[in-house]
Structure 1
Amino acid sequence: MEMSDEHVKIRVFIKDKGNLLANATISLETVYFGFITIKDFQIWRSQNLNSRLQEYINIKPLQRNVYGKWLDRVFFEDTEKWYELEAKIYDAYFMARSKASDK
């Protein structure tokens, strides 16, 4: 399922494997390079309520295990921009999940 506007393209792949609900690929438009694609965002079931999304869900950028500690591979300098993208990822996930359950 793909969702896009003029600056962001989001593609969601429903997984439903344990706590992993889905993966997402995000393409962000830049002024100089055009679209840059970041793969492997993860959408997880969570025990904690995500107060921004009002659901027990966690959306994380791709991570790498370094000496037993998970480190984010993508970092947003402006936290508000991350929250905005997180909401767009959630909307795309919700649409993909709804479409998958209709089948």
Structure 2
Amino acid sequence: MNDRMLRAFVTCARTGSVTRTATELGYSAASISDQIRQLEVHTQKPLFRRTSGGMSLTEAGRRMVPVAHDILSRMDLLCRCEAKAGYGRRNRGNRSAPLHEVHHVRRSA
């Protein structure tokens, strides 16, 4: 699962259309369909009902929308924080610790 899959999912949930989602995100409709299909394989649940009138969420899809929004918001926040701290390509020698190391750091009380 990756952010591209989640962005395709939440955008399609909002627009109800693979074509509109593709236009909005700047990908082909086939790419959006593939991303959603891969997410459905990963979750092992159908997230959309596909009809000639567009895409509508299944119950599993409706439950997943707020979680996907939360994940994407946190990922966007993380990217903004790293950009402000200067952890971009220009400062390769000044990077933050890898996430697996940060996970093990204990906070002092």
Q: TM-score per shorter chain, which class?
A: 0.3 to 0.5
Structure richer in helix, relative to its length? 2
Structure number with greater Rg is 2
Structure richer in strand, relative to its length? 1
